[in-house]
Amino acid sequence: MRVDPRKLVRAVVVFACAALVCGAAAACGGGQPGQEQAAVQAGPRVLTPAERVAWYQDCWSHFNNKAWDRFKACYADDVVSEQVDSGHPHAKGFDAMETGVRTFVSAFPDVKGDLELVLVKGETILGIQVLTGTHTGVLIGPDGMSIPPTGKPIGIRQAHVVRTDQDGSRVVKEQFYVDSGTLMAQLGLNPTPVRPVAARAAAAPTVVVAAGTPAELGNLDLLRKQMAAYNSHDARGVDAYNAPDLVIHDMAMPADQSAQEGLAGMQDFFRAFPDVKLAPESLWAAGSYAIAAGRLTGTNKGPMPAMGVKRPTGKTVSIQYLDVTRWENGKLEEEWMFYDGPTFARQLGLVKK
């Protein structure tokens, strides 16, 4: 179901009334002996889906406002944070995660993440943000190399997938999917054509909470069937699920693609990687959206003119991906694809490690 974020109920923090504060059970509303202990044993209240959305938006607001104490409250002490395929090691524990965040913010002191889309199913929340900022500080790469300030702005879309605790009020695991090649090119450090600097997102994101309806399950089934056609290297079979006005937002490509352009690119890719496979590790749906996250593998056995590869490299690639799809009337209308392009190029030996 769709949720209007302006009408979301803000998360309510419930505190048990303790004897030191209330003085006696009667001062807490006349409860009977033992009620205070029962309230403590009950633990924190589980947030509703609407409250989880509001909490998630608040956590991004804390990041944008550099309200670090409130930002910390959004995370479990043992959180695991991953920048997918970036070369950065997983940050294990809040202190390690915060160090990485503060290091990035020192390079982009005015950085902000504006939410465009928020999808929620149980303890999983997926957000697509437009990340904007100006490179006025030293940026540290995954190899430890320091990149001096360029003074250039960035505007990139990234996907953020979090898993919360059962109460829905602390992040226990998070993954960021972003194309580092776009970031480097916008800073003038990568000559590859990429997307121009994106403008900040609209004030209110699209918000959808999973309801487990037959329509949602049907969209997920359509995505499974389309992936099966892809793994059979049936480009026309994949295209049969696409709406004529499909828009493909491939974050590693310099511009959005149409259904026809996507079909041509897929046919070229199948010739270059005749054994390519998608291995989804996570599949779920929310409203008209169906989401797949997993790994793409394949061996380069043919030329790739789009990447300047005239002779096959014979090298194998294995990259992680996130695919967010929107379906209407049994057809794919819009798709967001997230993966790290430079990782793909490095595995093929096209760029230095």
Domain final residue, candidates 182, 209, 236: 209
Q: Are residues 188 and 307 in the same domain?
A: no
26-85 pLDDT per residue, tens:
333 444 555 545 444 556 789 999 999 999 999 999 999 999 999 999 999 999 999 999
Q: Are residues 331 and 254 in the same domain?
A: yes
Q: Are residues 222 and 330 in the same domain?
A: yes
Q: Are residues 55 and 186 in the same domain?
A: yes
**What burial letters (b/e) apply to 57-76, b meaning 16+ CB within 10 Å?**
bbbbebbeeeeeeebeebbe
Contact 318, 32 (CB under 8 A): no
Average pLDDT, the chain: 89
Is 38 a domain residue? no
Is 121 a domain residue? yes
Contact 341, 314 (CB under 8 A): no
Residues 6 or more apart whose Cβ sits within 8 Å of residue 118: 5, 53, 56, 57, 125, 126, 127, 205, 206, 207, 208
Domain final residue, candidates 178, 209, 240: 209
Is 178 a domain residue? yes
Is 129 a domain residue? yes
Instruction: Say what the pLDDT of residue 23 is.
Output: 34
Q: What is the CATH number of the domain that holds 167?
A: 3.10.450.50
Percentage of residues in the chain with pLDDT exceeding 90?
80
- The SS3 of residue 270 is helix
- Total count of domains within the chain: 2
Q: Are residues 94 and 140 in the same domain?
A: yes
Instruction: Say what the pLDDT of residue 96 is.
Output: 97
Q: Measuring CA to CA, which residue among 295, 241, 238 is closest to residue 267?
A: 238
Six token digits for residue 35: 């009620």
Residues 6 or more apart whose Cβ sits within 8 Å of residue 182: 156, 194, 195, 251, 252, 341
Domain final residue, candidates 159, 181, 209: 209
Instruction: Say what the pLDDT of residue 170 is.
Output: 98
Six token digits for residue 234: 């049936």
The residue range of the domain holding 190 is 49-209
Q: Are residues 152 and 66 in the same domain?
A: yes
**What is the phi/psi pair of residue 336, to 5°?**
-115, 125
DSSP secondary structure string for all residues of 224-237? HHHHHHHHTT-HHH
Cα–Cα distance, 74 to 89 (Å, whole number)? 21
CA distances from 9 to 5, 33, 55, 188 (A): 9, 33, 10, 43
Q: Measuring CA to CA, which residue among 148, 60, 64, 147 is closest to residue 111?
A: 64
Q: Are residues 81 and 102 in the same domain?
A: yes
Q: Measuring CA to CA, which residue among 213, 163, 204, 216 is closest to residue 54?
A: 204
Instruction: Say what the pLDDT of residue 224 is.
Output: 98
Residues 6 or more apart whose Cβ sits within 8 Å of residue 36: 16, 17, 18, 19, 25, 28
Contact 336, 159 (CB under 8 A): yes
105-139 pLDDT per residue, tens:
999 999 999 999 999 999 999 999 999 999 999 99
Q: Are residues 180 and 53 in the same domain?
A: yes
Contact 303, 272 (CB under 8 A): yes
In a structure prediction context, what are the per-residue pLDDT tens digits for the chain, which is 353 residues long?
444 443 433 333 333 333 333 333 333 344 455 554 544 455 678 999 999 999 999 999 999 999 999 999 999 999 999 999 999 899 999 999 999 999 999 999 999 999 999 999 999 999 999 999 999 999 998 778 899 999 999 999 999 999 999 999 999 999 999 999 999 999 999 888 999 999 988 789 999 999 999 999 999 999 999 999 999 999 999 999 999 999 999 999 999 999 999 999 999 999 999 999 999 999 999 999 999 999 999 999 999 988 888 899 999 999 999 999 999 999 999 999 999 999 999 999 987 65
> In terms of C-beta density within 10 A (0-12 exposed, 13-18 middle, 19 or more buried), how is residue 191 classed?
exposed
Cα–Cα distance, 185 to 56 (Å, whole number)? 30
Cα–Cα distance, 338 to 333 (Å, whole number)? 17
Cα–Cα distance, 237 to 256 (Å, whole number)? 21
Q: Are residues 151 and 243 in the same domain?
A: no
Q: Are residues 61 and 205 in the same domain?
A: yes
Is 29 a domain residue? no
Q: Are residues 248 and 188 in the same domain?
A: no
Is 24 a domain residue? no
Is 31 a domain residue? no
User: Does pTM top 0.85 for this prediction?
Assistant: yes
Is 224 a domain residue? yes
Cα–Cα distance, 220 to 260 (Å, whole number)? 23
Q: Are residues 115 and 219 in the same domain?
A: no
Cα–Cα distance, 246 to 257 (Å, whole number)? 8
